[in-house]
């Protein structure tokens, strides 16, 4: 019997805007993918190429998110775990075991193991990190199209000087995370 292991990772815990995105990937051992590693250690061009290859060759994959509103309601850790849980449960075939990047596991109906640095040591987690990061970056490019003066294409929503300046000049958008301190301070004024 084949044992299906899903790798899970998220992207977007630190930004001040948008969803946290999680991906779950079950790799196909008969279709190896060369170059899988932590998405942060790859160029954008490499991530984009691997994104397509993962989707074409994986036995199964799913991408899910928790919105900025859910982040504000739950907190970023719980919202990240919720996005991970959603991604696993959306897989076309449920895995027998799940490897999660980090030190916490979401509630799942199958065994799960948290692996610190898993996106560097487990190919299935690396694949999930790439799907999550590319999806989140694409969301930020779309947000940039709608609100170019915020510079989302450059900083991807992270707390940078450019983002702080845009918040001060143009205000808080509906998709900003209202409970994150730099945004919250502007709302209390």
Q: What is the pLDDT of residues 114-169, one digit of tens each?
A: 999 999 999 999 999 999 999 999 999 999 999 999 999 999 999 999 999 999 99
Q: Are 112 and 106 in contact (CB under 8 A)?
A: yes
What percent of the chain clears pLDDT 70, i.e. is strictly above it?
A: 99
189 pLDDT more than 80: no
Q: What is the pLDDT of residues 90-105, one digit of tens each?
A: 999 999 999 999 999 9
Tokens of 126: 């690396």
pTM over 0.85: yes
Per DSSP, helices labelled H in the chain are 44-57, 68-74, 76-90, 118-121, 123-146, 152-155, 161-170, 181-188
Question: Hey, what domains does the chain have and what are their CATH numbers?
Answer: 5-188 (3.30.420.10)
State how far the Cα of 38 lies from the Cα of 102, in Å rounded to an integer.
12
State how far the Cα of 144 lies from the Cα of 127, in Å rounded to an integer.
26
Per-residue confidence (pLDDT) for residue 122, from 0 to 100: 97
State how far the Cα of 109 lies from the Cα of 120, in Å rounded to an integer.
25
User: Residue 181 burial (CB < 10 Å; 0-12/13-18/19+)?
Assistant: exposed
1 pLDDT more than 70: no
- What confidence tier does 106 reach under pLDDT thresholds 50, 70, 90? very high
State how far the Cα of 149 lies from the Cα of 179, in Å rounded to an integer.
23
Rg (CA), the chain: 17
Residue that is written with structure tokens 């993962």 in the block? 54
- What confidence tier does 44 reach under pLDDT thresholds 50, 70, 90? very high
Q: Are 128 and 24 in contact (CB under 8 A)?
A: yes
């Amino acid at each position: 019997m084949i044992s299906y292991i899903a790798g899970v990772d998220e992207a977007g815990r630190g930004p001040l805007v948008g969803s946290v995105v999680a991906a779950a990937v079950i790799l196909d051992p008969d279709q190896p993918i060369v170059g899988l590693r932590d998405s942060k250690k790859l160029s954008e061009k490499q991530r984009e190429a691997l994104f397509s290859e993962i989707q074409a060759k994986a036995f199964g994959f799913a991408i899910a998110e928790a919105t900025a509103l859910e982040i504000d309601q739950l907190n970023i850790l719980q919202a990240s775990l919720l996005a991970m849980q959603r991604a696993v449960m959306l897989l076309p075939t449920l895995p027998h075991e799940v490897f999660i990047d980090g030190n916490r596991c979401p509630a799942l109906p199958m065994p799960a193991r948290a692996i610190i640095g898993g996106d560097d040591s487990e190919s299935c987690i690396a694949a999930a990190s790439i799907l999550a990061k590319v999806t989140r970056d694409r969301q930020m490019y779309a947000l940039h199209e709608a609100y170019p003066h915020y510079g989302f294409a450059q900083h991807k929503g992270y707390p940078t000087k450019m983002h702080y300046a845009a918040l001060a000049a143009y205000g808080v958008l509906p998709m900003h995370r209202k409970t994150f301190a730099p945004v919250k301070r502007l709302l209390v004024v």
